[in-house]
Amino acid sequence: MTIYKAPLADFSFLFDRVLRLDALSNVPGFAEASGDTRGAILEEAGKLSEGVLLPLNESGDREGCRYDAKTHSVTTPKGFKEAYRQFTEGGWSGLASDPDYGGQGLPAVLALAVNEMVVATNWSFAMYPGLSHGAYSAIHTHGSEEQKATYLPKLVAGEWSGTMNLTEPQCGTDLGLIRTKAEPQKDGSYRITGTKIWISGGEQDLTANAIHLVLARISGAPEGIKGISLFIVPKFLVNADGTLGARNGVFCGGLEEKMGIHANATCVMNYEGATGYLIGEPHKGMRAMFTMMNEARLGVGLQGLAISEIAYQNAVAFARERLQGRSLTGPKNEGGPADPIIVHPDVRRMLMDVRAFNEGARALLLWTGLWGDLEYRSSDAKTREKGGDYMALLTPVLKAYFTDQGFQSAVTCQQVLGGSGFTKHFPIEQFVRDARIGMIYEGANGIQALDLVGRKLAQNGGRALFAFLADAGEVADALVARPEFKAYGDRLHETRKFLEDATKWLMENALANPDHAGASSYDYLYLTAYVALGLVWGRMVLAARKALDEGAGEKAFFEAKLVTARHFFERVLPAAQVHAVRAKAGADGLMALAAEAF
């Protein structure tokens, strides 16, 4: 049986003591999410996740989605429709959305915490409303007033879904190769023709309508990425009074059979002269789509954390029960035939690695998410600017590092279970299969690293990175100032220096040979992730120490936090050194073999 308990104590530690949300009550939406309300919302989301979504995770994986070629329809697994009804009726789809369109206007950082629980208990399910929210954001930011009025209230309510249509058979990473055509019509609409593949939730039976956001090329548009525009293509056209009209010419042509996330429909979508409406300006589609993609990238990073958390909880339960061998320091279960495997240091190593990732990643996700809120909601221009800078800098880092580690965590937890982890009697093999896609979709992780090094780093003369290094330096100083945490502060300073040196190395070498930037980028992204994790772990250490000094309740929680912090600084952060060396190794060795010599 799969277990999951919502990490509510960790959420309140982070919101109350580390991010101190209550001090932000002057920021719009934050007063409505103050202490008790926040706690109640998270508790309810925990109940929905544990009670409604978790029971459908394994059955959804076994059953998968079904396609009917006659009607081009897709049936989601048993129970999904009812769960989706409960999800939308509970208002979860509009938690952080604009109240002008029926949303609750709560901070997006709160929605991230809710989403962690929803994804942990049912990744496949979570993708349906997750992509709808991405479509909501793209239309909200770039759509006309009429488009917003037509589509947003239904997306916010979850009555209609949203999808993201970029990929075509010949184009994945390189969207300049898109062939889907858009022909202008006299009434201002466009006729969209082409085939999209691997479209998540492209067809399903959960919502009355689907709003497809589609990248296409207007006839006569410039070649490559500069000729791409973004269109709204509803499954059912919408009448002037908001009711559903004629069926549009977009049909699901089949489902992909795949390694994991079986309960999420991955669809071929055929656009057969479908009516589409341009969002924003012609040929500026990538700008608008990036709103959706950036949100989705943070959401995918979150998936890595979420799967790691549920894998951890199940591995811990197993390690407490499974009796094998004796503790190296003498029996701990004297009456029994053997000790539980949790007594063995090597099993501890695995569990502590995953635990330290989960707690650090949760803090980093919420810290980043808070900057995202401040970017849009703060009344202070400098804070808004910093919020935008941090979101831009950290989104590719979280997407790639969290999904790499999420998959690694699932595999590590599988290892804790030994052979049982490989069988279907336990849920971890599903977690391993589900986790793998996070590293691939929404831009493969290597592409995130290129985005960081090639675009984000240099933006505004490196302003985001310099601010980030300064913030990390301040946290390191605060740790050094306390003798008991001096070693942690020194380690963070050292890691920060690695990142500084790697940045200098890039500045000196990448222009002369761009392959150096490409060769360095992955390790550079890891170095950034380590500094960011060091920064948030430093803040957690100081907050937990303060809570203990004040004699706050839940002493065991704060003490455990300090133990996990110790693991992070002693055994996780030193790995940054390897990346520091590799980030400066250059491209010559990588590029030396001719392609035919491989």
Does position 433 interact with ligand FAD (CB under 6 A)? The reply is: no
How many residues at the interface with ligand FAD, by CB under 6 A?
A: 20
Amino acid residing at 529: A
Catalytic hit among 89, 116, 442, 596: 442
Of 64, 254, 282, 273, give the one whose Cα is nearest residue 169: 254
Does position 173 interact with ligand FAD (CB under 6 A)? The reply is: yes
Does position 414 interact with ligand FAD (CB under 6 A)? The reply is: no
Shortest reach from residue 521's CB to ligand FAD, in Å = 9
Please list, residue by residue across 250-282, b when 16 or more beta carbons sit within 10 angstroms of its beta carbon and e when fewer do.
bbbbbbeeeebbbbbbbbbbbbeebbbbbbbee
Does position 166 interact with ligand FAD (CB under 6 A)? The reply is: yes
132, 93 Cβ separation under 8 angstroms = yes
Shortest reach from residue 586's CB to ligand FAD, in Å = 16
Please list, residue by residue across 439-455, b when 16 or more beta carbons sit within 10 angstroms of its beta carbon and e when fewer do.
bebbbebebbbbbbbee
Hey, what's the torsion of the CAs at 266, 270, 271, 277, to 10 degrees? 0
For the chain, report the end-to-end CA distance as a whole number of angstroms. 45
Helix (H), strand (E), coil (C) string for 89-151? HCCHHHCCCCHHHCCCCCCHHHHHHHHHHHHHHCHHHHHHHHHHHHHHHHHHHHCCHHHHHHH
Amino acid residing at 549: D
DSSP 264: S
- Tell the residue number behind the tokens 């691997």, with chain if given: 198
Does position 291 interact with ligand FAD (CB under 6 A)? The reply is: no
Does position 288 interact with ligand FAD (CB under 6 A)? The reply is: no
Q: Hey, is 199 helix, strand or coil?
A: strand
Does position 565 interact with ligand FAD (CB under 6 A)? The reply is: no
Which window, 35-43, 116-124, 159-167, 329-337, contacts ligand FAD (CB under 6 A)? 159-167
Does position 292 interact with ligand FAD (CB under 6 A)? The reply is: no
Q: How many CA atoms lie within 13 A of 157 on its CB side?
A: 13
- Tell the residue number behind the tokens 């009550």, with chain if given: 25
Q: Is 256 part of the annotated catalytic residue set?
A: no
Of 330, 496, 377, give the one whose Cα is nearest residue 96: 377
DSSP 34: -
Among 258, 283, 284, 433, binds ligand FAD (CB under 6 A): 258
Bridge partners of 75, per DSSP, are 66
Query: Nearer Cβ to ligand FAD, position 172 or 462?
Result: 172
Does position 270 interact with ligand FAD (CB under 6 A)? The reply is: no
Query: Nearer Cβ to ligand FAD, position 195 or 415?
Result: 195
Shortest reach from residue 170's CB to ligand FAD, in Å = 9
Shortest reach from residue 165's CB to ligand FAD, in Å = 6
Does position 304 interact with ligand FAD (CB under 6 A)? The reply is: no
Q: How far out from the chain centre does Cα 406 lie?
A: 10
How, if at all, do strands 236-238 and 244-247 pair? antiparallel
Does position 230 interact with ligand FAD (CB under 6 A)? The reply is: no
Looking at residues 310 to 369 of the shown chain, list those that interact with ligand FAD (rule: CB under 6 A).
Answer: none
DSSP 554: -
DSSP 483: G
Shortest reach from residue 90's CB to ligand FAD, in Å = 25
Of 379, 380, 382, give the one whose Cα is nearest residue 390: 382
Looking at residues 79 to 138 of the shown chain, list those that interact with ligand FAD (rule: CB under 6 A).
Answer: none
Does position 524 interact with ligand FAD (CB under 6 A)? The reply is: no
If you count them, how many residues does the chain have? Answer: 598
Encoded one letter per residue, x for contact with ligand FAD by CB under 6 A and - for no contact, window 182-221 reads: ----------------xxx---------------------
Shortest reach from residue 396's CB to ligand FAD, in Å = 12
Query: Nearer Cβ to ligand FAD, position 116 or 442?
Result: 442
Encoded one letter per residue, x for contact with ligand FAD by CB under 6 A and - for no contact, window 438-477 reads: --xxxxx-xx--x---------------------------
Query: Nearer Cβ to ligand FAD, position 173 or 333?
Result: 173
Does position 294 interact with ligand FAD (CB under 6 A)? The reply is: no
- In angstroms, the Cα distances linking 548 to 7, 552, 564 are 20, 6, 15
Q: Hey, is 19 helix, strand or coil?
A: coil
Shortest reach from residue 123's CB to ligand FAD, in Å = 11
Residue nearest to ligand FAD (CB): 172
Does position 437 interact with ligand FAD (CB under 6 A)? The reply is: yes
Which window, 35-43, 437-445, 491-499, 583-591, contacts ligand FAD (CB under 6 A)? 437-445
Among 88, 167, 405, 520, binds ligand FAD (CB under 6 A): 167
Query: Nearer Cβ to ligand FAD, position 167 or 378?
Result: 167
Shortest reach from residue 411's CB to ligand FAD, in Å = 19
Q: Which residues bind ligand FAD (CB under 6 A)?
A: 164-167, 172-173, 198-200, 258, 266, 437, 440-444, 446-447, 450
Catalytic positions, written as ranges: 442
